[in-house]
């Protein structure tokens, strides 16, 4: 089972250790506060991320961010992995440093990917270093050192992605609006099941709904309401794929009194009704594989 080896104290921002997936429930989303980086060392894990299916095997890495919906589907008996999980604030701070467009495109397109052998060995040793730090250092020193380790690891990975795939346009500047939007995405990931109104999120962020829509359009390319609907569509896709819930039951789970309204949102996002999507998915499953990074 997932082993948290850092003492549970208010100042703890990182969890790290081994996991065999025994405390995950297939068909239910992983609870990721900010970000989880995981390296599979044995066995396999079938997982959907934002309704797309991936398979983790020996040497595969998963990079799961707070605004992704990650659902374990099937876990082998011999599955073993190393992980580090960041809380929301620590993840935000680390993400602020990584300006590579290509890196983020890679993470969101292929959150599960196979590492080249050289990177796999280095990454495995990196996780071993994290274990040594948290076991042999005071909590204050461990937390500060883990923060630096994660930030450095992400910067190195971003450079490797760009050297392998090439840069993608110019890297964007990070500003206050960018930070607000990332906090908005984290709030949507936390509250999407029962809060669908822009005003709720704007109030949480201490800004007006109009301003939230403006900066969402500028940074995401869509309005805040469209982002909420997009998140809901992702969850509906996942439930249609991994469960036999009816459309009415899905609507109830997402706190919609009118299933037809949820169906209209889903059709606008996908071009299909929920039942059409389920039938298409089950007749043409899509297991996605990405070449090694």
DSSP string of 214-269, one letter each residue: HHHHHHHSS-HHHHHHHHHHHHHHHHHHH----HHHHHHHTT-S-HHHHHHHHHHH
242 and 204, same structural domain? yes
Structural domain containing residue 193: 176-283
Q: How far apart are CA 36 and CA 291, in angstroms?
A: 21
132 and 112, same structural domain? yes
Count: domains in the chain: 2
Residue 31 half-sphere exposure toward CB, CA atoms < 13 A: 6
161 and 22, same structural domain? yes
Of 106, 140, 165, the position where a domain reaches its end is 165
Of 133, 165, 197, the position where a domain reaches its end is 165
135 and 32, same structural domain? yes
Nearest to 156 by CA among 277, 1, 293, 258: 293
Report pLDDT digits (tens) over 247-283. Answer: 999 999 999 989 999 999 999 988 999 999 988 877 7
182 and 154, same structural domain? no
161 and 91, same structural domain? yes
Q: How far apart are CA 107 and CA 94, in angstroms?
A: 14
Overall pTM surpassing 0.85 (yes/no):
no
pLDDT by 10-residue block (mean), the chain, 293 residues: 43 85 88 92 92 91 90 94 92 84 86 88 92 91 93 90 74 74 86 91 94 89 91 87 89 91 91 90 59 51
């Amino acid at each position: 089972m997932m082993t948290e080896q850092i003492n549970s104290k208010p100042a703890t921002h990182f969890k790290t250790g081994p996991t065999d997936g025994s405390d995950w429930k297939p068909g239910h989303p992983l609870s990721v506060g900010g970000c989880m980086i995981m390296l599979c060392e044995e066995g396999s894990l079938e997982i959907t991320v934002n309704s797309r299916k991936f398979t983790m095997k020996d040497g595969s890495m998963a990079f799961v961010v707070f605004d992704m919906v990650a659902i374990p589907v099937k876990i082998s008996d011999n599955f073993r992995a190393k992980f580090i999980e960041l809380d929301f604030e620590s993840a935000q701070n680390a993400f602020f440093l990584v300006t590579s467009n290509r890196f983020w495109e890679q993470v969101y397109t292929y959150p599960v990917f196979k590492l080249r052998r050289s990177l796999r060995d280095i990454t495995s040793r990196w996780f071993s270093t994290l274990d040594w730090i948290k076991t042999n250092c005071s909590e204050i020193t461990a937390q500060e050192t883990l923060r630096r380790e994660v930030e450095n690891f992400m910067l190195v990975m971003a450079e490797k992605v760009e050297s392998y795939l090439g840069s993608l346009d110019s890297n964007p500047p990070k500003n206050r609006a960018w930070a607000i939007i990332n906090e908005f995405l984290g709030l949507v990931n936390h509250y999407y099941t029962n809060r669908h109104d822009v005003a709720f999120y704007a109030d949480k962020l201490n800004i007006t709904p109009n301003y939230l829509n403006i900066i969402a359009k500028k940074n995401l390319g869509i309005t805040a309401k469209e982002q909420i609907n997009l998140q809901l569509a992702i969850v509906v896709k996942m439930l249609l794929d991994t469960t036999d819930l009816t459309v009415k039951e899905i609507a109830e789970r997402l706190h919609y009194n009118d299933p037809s309204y949820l169906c209209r949102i889903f059709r606008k996002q996908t071009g299909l009704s929920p039942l059409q999507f389920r039938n298409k998915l089950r007749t043409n499953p899509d297991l996605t594989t990405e070449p090694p990074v």
